[in-house]
Amino acid sequence: MATFNGSDFLKKQIASIQNQTYTNWRLIISDDGSSDDTLKIILDCMKDDCRIKLVNTSKKNGVVNNFNEALLHTTAPHIILCDQDDVWPNNKLEKLLCEMKSAELDNDLPVLIFTDLTLIDGDDNIIADSYYNVNKFNPKHNLKYNNLLWHSTIYGCSIILNRKLLNIALPIPSDVSMHDHWLSLIAMKYGKLIYYDFKSTFYRQHQNNQVGGRPNSFLFKMKKLPNYYRKIKLDAVHMKAHIKYLEEAKSERRKIWGGVILSILKSIIVGNKKMYSLCLLFLLVKI
C-alpha cells in the first residue's frame, strides 16, 4: 500500500484487508510524507496486528516512487497492490490467489492478472456495478501490446502479480506513466497478462480520485480542454519512455511504433476516445 494524506478512508481499507477469508498475508505500507493522521492510523493498526508493517515515512515525490518503495520491501511469491481509500470484498485475496495459481500451472512465466471494479462514493454507496461498463471500456483492449503501450485501463488496485514479474519490473522507472501501467507492460512483453472477470475492489470515487460518472457534455469538455491537452501531452512523453525501456533494439522500436500508430488510427475511426486518440497522434508527431 502507498499512502499520502489518506486518513479519511484508510481505517476502512485496512479493516477490509483484516476481514479477508484468506488470512496468511502481510500489509507493507510506504508513506509519502503525510501531514494528516495517516501515520497515526497506521501505527495504531500495527499495535493490534503484526501483519502490518510500515517501511517508509519520508517524501518519495509521487505515487510511482511511493509504490516502488513498498514493492522493494516485499519478498512474497504473490503481490496485490492496494490503494488507501478503497474497500475490499472479503473474498478478494482468496479469489485472486486461486486464479493466479491456476495461471501458474502451465509454465514458469511472469504473470499479472487484472479485474473489474465496483465504483462507490464517499459513503460506500454503489455508483456503478462495473467500472468497465460505466466507462464503455473493453477490458480485453489491454491484452494487445500495441494498444497497451499508449492506453491502459488496468488499475493497480485490481491486480495480482507474481514474484517472477516483480523481479523483472523493479525498480520502476520514474518517468513511466504509472506503476500499474508499467507492471502490465512487463507482463505483456515477458509473460502473461490475464483479465479475470471479477469485481475485486470497491473503488472509491471522491474529489481527488475520479474515473467514472463525470459530466460528458460538450461545454464540460471545452472547459477542461487546457488540462486535457496537458494530460495527453504527458501521455505522449510517457509512451515514448515505455518504448525506450522495453524495446532495446532500434529495429524493434520502429516495428513497434508502426503497430502503435495503426492502433491509434483504428481508435480514431472506431474507438470511444476519438478526440483523445487524434490529439495523442498529433502530439506524438510533434514532440
For the chain, how are helix, strand and coil distributed in percent, rounded to 5? 50, 15, 35
Q: How far apart are CA 218 and CA 240, in angstroms?
A: 30
- Over residues 168-210, the pLDDT tens digits come to 999 999 899 999 999 999 999 999 999 999 999 999 998 766 4
Phi and psi of 180, rounded to 5°?
Answer: -70, -35
- What is the grid cell recorded at 137? 471500456
Q: Is 83 helix (H, G, I), strand (E, B) or coil?
A: coil
- What is the grid cell recorded at 5? 494524506
For the chain, give the longest Cα–Cα distance: 56
CA distances from 29 to 32, 130, 136, 277 (A): 10, 28, 33, 36
Pure H helices in 135-198: 145-148, 163-169, 179-190
- Over residues 16-64, the pLDDT tens digits come to 999 999 999 999 999 999 999 999 999 999 999 999 999 999 998 899 9
Q: How far apart are CA 5 and CA 267, in angstroms?
A: 37
- What is the grid cell recorded at 105? 500451472
- What is the grid cell recorded at 14? 485496512
- Residue whose C-alpha cell reads 470515487 in the numeric block: 205
Comparing C-alpha atoms, which of 95, 208, 76, 101 is closest to residue 158? 95
Comparing C-alpha atoms, which of 95, 24, 166, 90 is closest to residue 103? 95
Q: Are 56 and 31 in contact (CB under 8 A)?
A: yes
Radius of gyration of the CA atoms of the chain, in A: 19
Q: Which domains does the chain have, with CATH numbers?
A: 2-204 (3.90.550.10), 218-286 (no CATH)
- Over residues 84-141, the pLDDT tens digits come to 999 999 999 999 999 999 999 877 899 999 999 999 999 999 999 999 999 999 999 9
